[in-house]
Amino acid sequence: MLQFSAYLFDEDLDNYNVNLPFLVHSCGRVSFNGNKDLHINRLYGRRDFQLIYIHQGKGHFILDNRESILDEGCTVLYHPYEIQQYSFHHSENAQFYWLHFSGNDIPGLLREAGLDRQIIDTGMASYIPALFEGIIRELIMKQQGYLQITSLKGQELVWLLAREAQKQEHRNRNGYNMEMEEILETIHLKYNQDLTIEQLARAYGTSTGWFIKEFSRYTGNTPKKYINEVRLNHAKELLSSTNYNISKISTVCGFENPLY
């Protein structure tokens, strides 16, 4: 297990007597590359708030006296003094980020952001890990203004998680994904160009693995198969409506190999 973390004033405390709207106490990243699991059992919780964002693999949480196995893209929010029982298994190649924070009216902030629930589907936007990493870096370097910057970044993280959660709710409720529709439009417009899955994933704003999952769930096909189907459909049209030979059609439709 590898942990990369940083703390305010270099102390792992869960409560500070500071009268501020938002204060980050600590932030970190945990990943697993050996044979050791992580088990947390805090029967009395902590005195601060904690966010856990699953970036890779799965997390096992005991919530409402039953186990919930959460996938990457899920965020768990613990309030002060809530029981914290969770584990991550090295065999599932897990990685997660965590943030401890407090403030004058955090419950009010979370209600306003729509994050007043324990399990939040926030998806896999690529900028979320970067925000965590930025907070960790500020807490480690402790340059001028780091306390204010980490507080601002912490609030930004809360609101951007709220934005992504709202997007996920809209997708789940309506079955319509505007960002994915834009990706599909790009494929249909540029099917004859060198489209890579990595490029499409970047345009979608997420990792390649998560993009393939989302794309497959939305369309019923993998991105590669979908692109090939679009190219083949255009090739059929050209075969029936032009005098182009196979080699010409394969070039026009974006196939590298005319024997395809």
Higher pLDDT, 16 or 72: 72
How far apart are the C-alpha atoms of 24 and 51, rounded to whole Å? 11
Higher pLDDT, 258 or 29: 29
Calculate mean pLDDT across residues 158-181: 87
Q: How much is the pLDDT for 60?
A: 97
**At residue 174, does pLDDT exceed 80?**
no
Q: How confident is the model at residue 260 (pLDDT cuts 50, 70, 90)?
A: low
Q: How confident is the model at residue 115 (pLDDT cuts 50, 70, 90)?
A: very high
**At residue 138, does pLDDT exceed 80?**
yes
How far apart are the C-alpha atoms of 43 and 41, rounded to whole Å? 6
pLDDT tens, position by position, 209-256: 889 998 998 888 999 999 999 999 888 888 888 888 888 888 888 887
Higher pLDDT, 14 or 70: 70
Q: How much is the pLDDT for 178?
A: 84
Calculate mean pLDDT across residues 110-130: 92
**At residue 102, does pLDDT exceed 70?**
yes
How far apart are the C-alpha atoms of 173 and 189, rounded to whole Å? 28
Q: How much is the pLDDT for 164?
A: 92
**At residue 207, does pLDDT exceed 90?**
no
Closest CA to 120 of 63, 175, 80, 65: 63
Packing angle of the helix pair 223-241, 197-204 (nearest 10 deg) = 120
Q: What contacts 259, CB < 8 A, 6 or more positions away?
A: none
Q: Are 253 and 237 in contact (CB under 8 A)?
A: no
Calculate mean pLDDT across residues 101-129: 92
Q: What average pLDDT does the structure give for the chain?
A: 91
**At residue 97, does pLDDT exceed 70?**
yes
- Kindly list the structural domains of the chain, giving each domain's residue range(s) and its CATH number in brackets, ordered by start: 2-174 (2.60.120.280), 178-252 (1.10.10.60)
Q: How confident is the model at residue 7 (pLDDT cuts 50, 70, 90)?
A: very high
Q: How much is the pLDDT for 142?
A: 95
Q: Are 74 and 120 in contact (CB under 8 A)?
A: yes
